[in-house]
Amino acid sequence: MMQAANTPGLAIDAQSLSALKRTAKEAPQQATRQAAKQFEALFMNMLLKHMRETLPGSDPLSSEASKTYTGMLDQQMSQKMADKGLGLADLIVKHLERSRGGGANAARSGHAGGVAAAAPTGGNARDFVSRMRNHAEEAARSLGVPAHFIVGQAALETGWGRHEIKGADGTNSRNLFGIKAGGNWTGKTVDVMTTEYINGVPRKIVDKFRAYNSYAESFRDYANLIGRNARYSAAAQAGADANQFARGLARGGYATDPRYAEKLAQVIQQAGQLQSPTNQA
């Protein structure tokens, strides 16, 4: 059976699999959606097959031709159902996108979370540094550390702004530092899936995070958290030492990721380089 060019069939043959691989290289986000739909279709195909096998009165001596035709029919039905969407593919895509976001969904504010390394991506990273610099400088004056330390942490937590924390309806929380909404928080919140490291093992959970009306508000809340919480005193007293700043946050429990200090120090260095005059666009 022929498939429309923009609706690939089940990736059970070399041709379909090769096409999916090419898409993954050329358009990763599109490939994620296609792979999720493939999984949904395969799941439905397995479900239909299992249902047929458990039907009473099924003929175990049916011809191979009949079995082949039934299998093709099941595959066609599965693909049609997946094309219409059952919701499983959407859940898979959201999970993968949040996983790639990593640090954007990390847990903070007295509760530790996990974060993935954030690599700068040319103009996007420079634009992020430029947009956040003024806010970071205000927070830096309050904490007594260089502004690029704070920009670097925001970059790590959000993947240079590519994976900011958003609610289920897509509303941007403007929470650049992954700060959780504890019992004392009376402002707006969003529920987000995040990675927690429990005994060194990453676990996915849904938790409540703070939401802000502006990025300036996010930076002020972050400066207040770090500056007034004794747990982070080593970070607040780091001066111009990026490594001490990163270690102070990690030791204070800002994140459960065992490599958080290492990752943060690296991204702070990158933010400093992007902020330098020789790297300004």
DSSP 197-257: EETTEEEEEEEEEE--SSHHHHHHHHHHHHHH-GGGHHHHT-TT-HHHHHHHHHHTTS---
Q: What is the SS3 assignment for 175-187?
A: CCCCCECCCCCCC
Q: 204: Cβ–Cβ under 8 A, 6 or more apart, which residues?
A: 95, 193, 194, 195, 196
Q: Which helix (H) or strand (E) holds 92?
A: helix 88-101
Question: Which of the 8 DSSP states describes residue 59?
Answer: -
CB 42 within 8 A of CB 10: yes
138 catalytic residue (yes or no):
no
13 catalytic residue (yes or no):
no
Question: Alpha helix (H) ranges present in 102-178?
Answer: 123-143, 147-158
From 40, 74, 164, 196, the catalytic residue: 196
From 221, 241, 257, 262, the catalytic residue: 221
Q: Just list the catalytic residues.
A: 196, 221
